[in-house]
A and B are shown apart, each in its own frame.
Chain A
């Protein structure tokens, strides 16, 4: 009984001291993160966070930043939202109140929209990792969109696919909100360019245990090109099953899926012959990208995806902006982020982002990648 009491006290003390520890202490800036850290999308959330943590540790290892003459380090505070917008909103409120964060990173569009309802009032920056165009079109003054929007991809992919592979498209995307917007945009663009949609049968990655039926339905309509996408690994399954059923056309991959990761899940790059998608980080041949990949692999022992790299550079840019302005005021940081991207050490910028649009989108070069003779190659479009 006595032991139990002592234990109880110890636990109470530990919790108490922990709750002190989460509050912001002098010389430290908390940066918030809310994303899926458990459940089906946990991997995605963890990858995102891995890039952020790596950037924070690099900054701290160099002694932090100089904020009004005070050495300041960066502390990532992460909360799990299981991909739910409502939970993301609760988390952001908590991050603001408990840790007084100037910025909250979130890697999904639903969470971004939820945060945009109150971020201007509560005064924090939303660092959104989503390529849904509406995120920056709504005119929220404290939002930064980290990756490029996908409407550019829709045009490029359509043009390239129709020129090289044929005019008949089978839609085999996914059923989450993001995939639906993608599918409707590519459907419109594809028809505008004179193509036809022969089948529309999205896969439900959250509820389907098997995609064989859905894939066979799309293939029965005999398309030249199949639109697939969602997280890389289930997309790989769809690709593999399509090939097993004898589909020999090409694929258009929604930007959420990465060619190199899909190839891994599908059982080889040759499965993806002719496929079109965004350029995977592993194919970038710039010094900055190679250096980042090397450092990431040394730390995590796996190949980084774009979510790690983009969030990594975004946090570096954010901190650079704080350093340059001597401020943690979200409005000041937001105004300085463009210059920060331009002035920051290029080794911290694997994608070479150098500017930000007026409504808060990072600007990147428009490129696509395709698989030719079993190799992923990068193609620059006009």
Chain B
């Protein structure tokens, strides 16, 4: 029984991280229709920023997380202003090429400053809880709790504040949003900022139980794309549900069948769900 619960815990941890990364990706796609391939690089920069704040400046874990979120949010806004905004009237393929360009650029810059070394980042939560054979390292519990808290906070922001409402309005109907006088530049920058901050927080949460290195974004970004296709491009609940589905598929498939097949299980699910609902689990738009 504890082995079963253990896999639930593993699925929740993975699902939380995937969900957080996918959330940022889906927000940007839903509102600006840009498939931001550079999102994985933002995630990676987030981890390196936290590492920098914690190890080189010696600040506390939470402060490092906040600092990293701010830096990456600004970086994401810069990407929007300098790259995606000037391309807004270009064919969609230009956005994609530009996004890949940003990805390569950020990876090269980080490798130039920090080298290709694998780094370990420690967090203050190194304890391990043992409930009668069910082993939960504190950091993993923190990941799950923080992810849920963030999702709730994001929902409240989108639903209950005026600024959040403008983002949803843009997602639902671009022309309508313009007609009622919503400033599209402001919404675009805000969306990128939120997506960057989410990526940085996800990376900071996950880094202590993993390694920090320039290519670390590749792993999560591929999963994040699968998740937003699965959940419906641009859908917030879709990103979370999709993240959990993939996380649980990996945990249970990996344990009860074989880790060698866990990707087959995850992608098999993708095929099944898409053949049943081609638009993804949740309808398009941040509803």
Contact = CB atoms under 8 A, between A and B. Distances in A.
Interface of A: 37-40, 42-43, 45-46, 175, 201-204, 206-210, 212-214, 216-217, 220, 231, 233-234, 237, 244-246, 264-265, 267
B183 to A, nearest CB: 35
Contacts of A209: 14, 17-18, 206, 210, 219-220, 223
Given A39-B215, A214-B254, A46 B14 contact: no
Interface centre among B116, B215, B258 (most CB of A within 10 A): B116
6 contacts: A43-B116, A43-B117, A207-B219, A244-B135, A245-B135, A264-B120
B233 interface: no
Interface in B171-229: 206, 209-211, 213-215, 218-220, 223
A246 B135 contact: yes
Given A202-B260, A217-B255, A244-B137, A237 B210 contact: yes
Contacts of A214: 254, 259
Contact of B120 (A42, A45, A207, A265): A265
Contacts of A264: 120
Interface of B is mostly: helix
B6 interface: yes
A208 B206 CA distance: 13
A245 to B, nearest CB: 5
Interface stretch (B81-89, B107-115, B279-287): B107-115
B147 interface: no
Contacts of A40: 213, 215, 218
A217 B254 CA distance: 8
B118 A216 contact: no
A209 B6 CA distance: 17
B111 A213 contact: no
Contact of A213 (B17, B115, B140, B254): B254
Contacts of B115: 43, 46
A234 B215 CA distance: 13
B44 to A, nearest CB: 12
A206 to B, nearest CB: 8
Nearest to B218: A40
A102 B232 CA distance: 55
A28 B214 CA distance: 35
A210 B3 contact: no
Given A212-B10, A237-B210, A38 B120 contact: no
B251 interface: yes
Contact of A207 (B116, B137, B258, B263): B263
B250 interface: yes
A177 to B, nearest CB: 14
Contacts of B135: 244-246
A210 B111 contact: no
